[in-house]
Amino acid sequence: MILAEPGPDLSDIVVLGVNHKTAAVELREKLAFSAEETEAALKLFQKAPSIREAMILSTCNRVEVLLVTKNKSLAIDTISSFITEKKAIAPAHLKPCVYVHSGSQAILHVFRVAASLDSMMIGEPQILGQLKEAFKTAVTLKSTGLILNRLLHKAFSTAKRVRTETGIGGHAVSISYAAVELAKKIFDTLDGKTILLIGAGEMAELAVEHLIRSTASMNLLVANRTFSVGVALAGRFRGRAIHLEEIPETLKTADIIISSTGSPAYVISKDQVKPAMRSRKHRPLFFIDIAVPRDIDPDINRIPNAYVYDIDDLQGAIRENIENRNAESIKAERIVEESVIKFTEWYQSLDVVPTIIDLREKLGAILTAELAKTFQALPLLTETDRQAFERMAESVIKKALHDPARFLKNPGAHRNKAVYLDFTRKLFHLDP
């Protein structure tokens, strides 16, 4: 009769969540967890008898709970009930939007999320930082353990490989990001440059976020029709707000103007730029117009050393870059699949660990006893001699266990691992 306990079940690893593909933004907003809600939820999950480990990832595009369970179906019910109750959402409304992955599919999902292969914009870098922050929170609250710690560290290293071994993150696929990438190409570096942002909507905010990640120091100016809104955006990013009336004067000192107001008329005309260029002594001035309809008079292109790029110029680059990213994502998927296999092999080896530890302790006890006899028989040994014997004993244990441990971890697909574990325990009398 085989007495060895069954090893860890891969299906104990579970991901439950919604994302931009399954749920509208209104539902995602309702489901989002604040920092305080995340802390309270993780503390509650720690007390749930069906849950071993847990962490929560909550972003604007996804809300996911990662679990290692003791009872998978009960754990899923526990999480689902908690969310519907705390977020006041009818189960019938939530259920069609929720996905549940377990086992290798859950591992694959976590690695794809970390590598930005499951993002709205494939290759965007923000998700990895968000995942690291979510993991840090869970670790601080001690709601993760051996499995999630290993899973997330493997996810981070997988994402790093994808980033360094493929070009998936090197191509702009949003208008705001493309605008900033263009600005970087124009000047090589944006450090120390004066950038005037006209408009304070979502596109402008995204552009600023990309700018902040691209430069350690820049002079940011924000002009908006509602001055207080411009002040708020500028304040968030250590910039300065100016009134729209100040734009003509600012053209004399700015290096790049990014405009996204959507005004029905041009915000900057050719007649405003001409005198500014004279004051600049014809130092180049770049306009990046990401508004529809356009904010910048295209005739400005006729002025020497003044350059206007509009949304059509950016769209062409974006289409090409999307194709490039899709090609690179094939390479990235291969890297992710390799990582899933390696993590799965590690996970399935966990059932061997207690036997190897017990075997090591038994061999260690035998060698310790024999060393004690040897030291007693050789009283003239120095402390250095004794330490040399102890190091030799440790080396013998390591080498003696190396091949058996490797075999027990992977005896071959055609062999029953439990049989070999049970035989090993009986052979060496590891059980009382």
- For residue 351, the 8-state DSSP code is G
Residue written as tokens 């090197």? Answer: 170
% of the chain surpassing 70 pLDDT: 94
- What is the structure's pLDDT at 350? 79
Asked if residue 293 lies in contact with residue 264, where contact means CB atoms within 8 angstroms, the answer is yes
Q: Which two tokens stand for residue 26?
A: 């209104």
404 CB contacts (<8 Å, ≥6 apart)? Answer: 359, 424
Q: Domain spans of the chain?
A: 10-165+325-348, 175-309, 352-427
Active site residue 97: no
Beta bridge partners of 54: 67
Do residues 74 and 52 lie in contact, with contact meaning Cβ atoms separated by under 8 Å?
no
Residue 201 has pLDDT above 80, yes or no: no
Distances (CA, A) of 284 to 51, 278, 280: 61, 11, 8
Name residues whose C-beta falls within 8 Å of residue 7's C-beta, 6 or more positions apart in sequence.
348, 350, 351, 352, 417, 418
Average pLDDT (230-246) is: 90
pLDDT in tens, 106-128: 999 999 999 999 987 778 787 89
CATH architecture of residue range(s) 175-309:
3-Layer(aba) Sandwich (3.40)
Alpha-carbon gap, residue 46 to 111, rounded angstroms:
24
- Contact 58/28 with Cβ under 8 angstroms? no
pLDDT (tens digit, 9 = 90+) per residue, 339-386? 999 999 888 777 787 888 888 898 999 999 999 999 999 999 999 999
pLDDT at 422 over 80: no
Domain 10-165+325-348 fold: Beta Polymerase; domain 2 (3.30.460)
Does residue 48 have a pLDDT over 90? yes
Which is catalytic among the residues 2, 3, 35, 60? Answer: 60
